[in-house]
């Protein structure tokens, strides 16, 4: 399945090409992967939102999933569900095999989409997205555990702070002028 975003019918301006190139840079791809390690649904939800707003576009043909009408609301709903589910005591660790595997796949997907949106090779995006997701999952888990031990704050409070960090980092990775 091709997850390309809808191409523009006009030739992009030099400024737009430069913006797309920066947005698809390898550090931004790695950052978006790390966000996926923190919160698995954030990267694709914000990519879909950017696609619907016309801020992320890619050449390609085939099914357009992320910029379809229902994609952004459904992915945002999924993201909100993850924000709630993360705070529940029965939620498994992000480092368990299933959750970690999902984060790696979603990080790779986000990296590929971001690179494709910049007209660049998707292979580095897949690799860096997955590596970033693994690093983000590991770092997020250990940072949250350390913060809990150091501050005595309740885990749901730390989880809410982590939600905000993930949203801020993803927004930065997808912004036009960073």
Query: How many whole angstroms separate alpha carbon 70 and alpha carbon 56?
Result: 17
Report DSSP letters for 35-51, one per residue.
Answer: HHHH-TTHHHHHHHHHH
pLDDT of residue 68: 81
Q: Which pLDDT score is estimated for 151?
A: 97
Q: What is the pLDDT of residue 117?
A: 85
DSSP 153: -
pLDDT at 137: 98
Residue 178, token pair as written in the block: 């960073």
Query: Are the C-beta atoms of residues 97 and 60 closer than 8 Å to each other?
Result: no
The conformation of residue 57, written as its DSSP 8-state character, comes to -
Domain boundaries, the chain: 14-174
User: CA–CA separation, 75 vs 109, rounded Å?
Assistant: 14
Tell me how far apart the 2 most distant CA atoms of the chain are, in Å: 55
Quick one: pLDDT at residue 57? 63
Q: What is the SS3 assignment for 43?
A: helix
**Which structure tokens are listed for 27?**
């550090």
Answer whether 99's CB lies under 8 Å from 40's CB: yes
Find all residues with CB under 8 Å of 145, minimum gap 6, and list them. Answer: none
Helix (H, G, I), strand (E, B) or coil at 176: coil
Asked whether 48 and 71 are in contact (CB, 8 A), the reply is yes
Mean pLDDT, the chain cut into blocks of 10 residues (178 residues total): 45 46 83 98 93 68 65 94 96 96 97 89 96 98 98 97 98 82
Angle at 78 between CA 129 and CA 95, to 5 degrees: 50
């Amino acid at each position: 399945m091709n997850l390309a975003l809808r191409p523009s019918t006009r030739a992009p301006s030099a400024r737009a090409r430069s913006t797309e190139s920066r947005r698809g840079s390898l550090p931004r791809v790695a950052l978006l992967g790390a966000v996926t390690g923190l919160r698995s649904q954030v990267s694709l939800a914000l990519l879909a939102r950017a696609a619907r707003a016309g801020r992320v576009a890619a050449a390609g043909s085939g099914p357009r999933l992320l910029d379809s009408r229902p994609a952004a609301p459904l992915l945002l709903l999924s993201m909100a569900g993850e924000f709630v589910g993360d705070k529940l005591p029965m939620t498994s660790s992000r480092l368990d095999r299933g959750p970690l595997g999902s984060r790696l796949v979603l990080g790779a997907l986000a990296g590929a989409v971001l690179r494709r949106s910049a007209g660049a090779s998707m292979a580095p995006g897949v690799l860096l997205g997955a590596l970033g997701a693994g690093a983000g999952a590991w770092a997020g888990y250990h940072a949250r555990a350390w913060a809990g031990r150091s501050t005595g704050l309740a885990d749901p409070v730390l989880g809410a702070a982590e939600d905000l960090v993930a949203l801020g980092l993803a927004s930065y990775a997808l912004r036009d002028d960073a």
